[in-house]
Amino acid sequence: MHIPVDTTETAAFVALDAMRAAVASLTGCALVRARITYKMRVETPAMPDVGASIKRRAVFFLSTPDDGPLALVEIPGVSDSIFISDGCGAGQVVDTLNLDVAAFVAALLDLPATNPFGDEATELMSGNLQSRV
């Protein structure tokens, strides 16, 4: 099903709820999860920074209410500047005091999003480098 990119979030969820009700009459199962995605096509692809690798990711672990399952976010191609630069974990542990990290986490927590179990993230617990080779 295609929802135009200029559709508001509220309108998209109203449409999704109507679809859920329509599908309910066809099955004995319950809707567990639905996903709304927006397709985007970059007309002029940007060149990655030198040394950037999609395999090099930062993983952010966020707490949820009532000690529920954690929320997890992975960001590929991360910059060295978001990691602590000295001491134990240098170059591996996300610097939670970094202004870019703080802005990202604030924007993330403002989203009306949950982990796969329906738990909203409440705060950043930690973050680290995950490098796959």
Residue that wins the pLDDT comparison between 21 and 2:
21
Which residue segment(s) compose the domain that 36 sits in?
A: 1-40
Split into its structural domains, the chain has a count of 2
Which 3-state string (H, E, C) describes 8-65?
A: CHHHHHHHHHHHHHHHHCCCCCCCCCCCCCCCCCCCCCCCCCCCCCCCEEEEEEEECH
Confidence (pTM):
0.62
φ, ψ of residue 125 in degrees (nearest 5): -90, -50
* Residue 19 shares a structural domain with residue 66: no
* Residue 89 shares a structural domain with residue 125: yes
* Residue 71 shares a structural domain with residue 33: no
Q: What is the pLDDT of residue 11?
A: 82
Residue 91: CB atoms within 10 A of its CB come to: 10
* Residue 34 shares a structural domain with residue 92: no
pLDDT at 85 over 70: yes
